[in-house]
Structure 1
Amino acid sequence: MSKEKKNAFLVQGTILALASIMVRFVGIIYRIPLQRLLGDEGMGYYSTAYEIYSVLLILSSFSLPTAISKLVSTRVAKKEYENVRRLFFGGIVIAIVFGGIAAIVLYVFSDNLAHMFKFDESALALRTLAPTLFLVALMGVLRGFFQGFGSTVPTAISQIIEKIVQVALSLILCRHFLKLMAGEELKLSYAAMGATMGNCFGAIAGLLFLVFGYVSIAGFIKKKSRKQKKQIMGYKEIFTLMILTIIPVLLSTTVNNISNICDNFIVGNVLTIKGFSDTEIARMWGILSNKYRTFITLPVSVASALAVSTMPSMSKAVAVGDNKLAMNKIGLSVRFVYLFSAPCAVGVMILANPLLQLLYYDGVTGNEMGTYLLWIGCVTIILSSLVAITNAILQGLGHLNMPVIHCVIGLVVHIIVAVACMMIFNLSIYSIVVAEIALTVTVLILNFRFIFINYDYRQEIKRTFVIPSICAAIMGCFISATYYLLRIFTHSRVILLMIPFVVAVVVYFVMLFVLGGLNEQEIEQFPKGRYIIKFYKMLHLIK
Structure 2
Amino acid sequence: MPHEESKTFLKGAFILSLGSFITKILSAVYRVPFQNIVGDIGFYIYQQVYPIYGIVIALATYGFPVIISRLIAENRIHGKAELEKEIISASFMLLSAGGLILFLFVFWGSYDLADWMGDLKLRPLIQTIAFSFLLLPFISTFRGYFQGNNKMLPTAVSQVIEQFVRVMTIIILSAYLVSKGFSLYRVGTGAIAGSITGGSCALIVLCILYFKGSNHHRLAFFSVSGTVYKRVAMALFIEGFAVCISGALLVLIQFIDSLNLFSLLVHSGMAANEAKAVKGVYDRGQPFIQLGTVAATSISLALVPMITREYRLRNNAALSEKLRIAFKLSIIIGLGAAAGLINLIRPANIMLFENDKGSAVLAVFSISIFLSSIILTITGALQGMRKVYSPAVYILFGIFVKFFGNEYFVPKYGTMGAAMATDVSLGIIAVFFIMRIKKLGISMLPAGFYAKLAAAVCLMTLVLQTLLFITRTMHLTGRGMNAGIALAGVAAGGFVFIWSVIRFNLLDDKDLSLLPFGEQLLKIKKIME
TM-score of the aligned structures, taking structure 1 as reference length: 0.74
Pairing 1:55-454 to 2, within 5 Å after superposition: 63-68=63-68, 71=71, 87=87, 90-103=90-103, 106=106, 122=122, 124-143=124-143, 155-177=155-177, 182=180, 188-211=184-207, 219=215, 234-250=228-244, 259-260=253-254, 262-263=256-257, 267=261, 275-288=269-282, 290-300=283-293, 317-318=310-311, 321-362=314-355, 364=356, 366=357, 370-414=358-402, 418-419=406-407, 421=409, 426-453=412-439
Q: Check if 1:496 corresponds to 2:485.
A: yes
Which 10-residue stretch deviates more, 237-246 or 170-179? 170-179
Deviation at 1:371, TM superposition (A): 2.0
Q: 1:323 to 1:509 in 2, by over 3 A?
A: same
Task: Report the Cα distance in structure 1 between the residues aligned to 2:361 and 2:520, rounded to whole angstroms.
Answer: 37
* Residue of structure 2 in register with 1:228 after alignment: none
For structure 1, the 5+ residue unaligned runs are 223-232
Task: Report the Cα distance in structure 2 between the residues aligned to 1:104 and 1:412, rounded to whole angstroms.
Answer: 25
Question: Do 2:132 and 2:196's aligned partners in 1 also have CA atoms closer than 8 Å?
Answer: yes
Question: Do 2:239 and 2:389's aligned partners in 1 also have CA atoms closer than 8 Å?
Answer: no
Q: 1:120 to 1:409 in 2, by over 3 A?
A: closer
Q: 1:312 to 1:285 in 2, by over 3 A?
A: same
Deviations 1:353-396 (A, max 9, x none): 1110111224x4x2xxx221233343321112212233344444
Question: Do 2:324 and 2:442's aligned partners in 1 also have CA atoms closer than 8 Å?
Answer: no
Task: Report the Cα distance in structure 2 between the residues aligned to 1:276 and 1:121, rounded to whole angstroms.
Answer: 18
| Aligned pairs, number | 516
Q: Check if 1:540 corresponds to 2:527.
A: yes
Deviation at 1:352, TM superposition (A): 0.6
- What SS does the aligned partner of 2:135 have? helix
Deviation at 1:267, TM superposition (A): 4.5
Q: 1:338 to 1:524 in 2, by over 3 A?
A: same
- What SS does the aligned partner of 2:284 have? helix
Task: Report the Cα distance in structure 2 between the residues aligned to 1:465 and 1:87, rounded to whole angstroms.
Answer: 49
Amino acid at match of 1:405: V
Deviation at 1:31, TM superposition (A): 2.9
Q: 1:17 to 1:481 in 2, by over 3 A?
A: farther
- What SS does the aligned partner of 2:354 have? coil
Task: Report the Cα distance in structure 1 between the residues aligned to 2:325 and 2:10, rounded to whole angstroms.
Answer: 8
Question: Do 2:117 and 2:258's aligned partners in 1 also have CA atoms closer than 8 Å?
Answer: no
Deviations 1:79-103 (A, max 9, x none): 8755667655544444433334434
For structure 2, the 5+ residue unaligned runs are 218-226
- What SS does the aligned partner of 1:63 have? helix
- What SS does the aligned partner of 1:540 have? helix
Task: Report the Cα distance in structure 1 between the residues aligned to 2:371 and 2:253, rounded to whole angstroms.
Answer: 16
Which 10-residue stretch deviates more, 73-82 or 61-70? 73-82
Q: 1:306 to 1:162 in 2, by over 3 A?
A: farther
Deviation at 1:345, TM superposition (A): 0.8
Task: Report the Cα distance in structure 2 between the residues aligned to 1:348 and 1:79, rounded to whole angstroms.
Answer: 52
Q: 1:85 to 1:302 in 2, by over 3 A?
A: farther
Which 10-residue stretch deviates more, 269-278 or 441-450? 269-278
Question: Do 2:348 and 2:483's aligned partners in 1 also have CA atoms closer than 8 Å?
Answer: no
Task: Report the Cα distance in structure 2 between the residues aligned to 1:108 and 1:263, rounded to whole angstroms.
Answer: 22
Aligned CA RMSD, in angstroms, stands at: 4.7
Q: 1:486 to 1:509 in 2, by over 3 A?
A: same
Q: 1:318 to 1:217 in 2, by over 3 A?
A: farther
Task: Report the Cα distance in structure 1 between the residues aligned to 2:461 and 2:79, rounded to whole angstroms.
Answer: 49
Amino acid at match of 1:452: K
Question: Do 1:34 and 1:171's aligned partners in 2 also have CA atoms closer than 8 Å?
Answer: yes
From 431, 441, 445, the counterpart of 1:456: 441
- What SS does the aligned partner of 2:505 have? coil
Deviation at 1:157, TM superposition (A): 4.2
Kindly, what percent of the aligned residue pairs are identical?
19
- What SS does the aligned partner of 1:343 have? helix
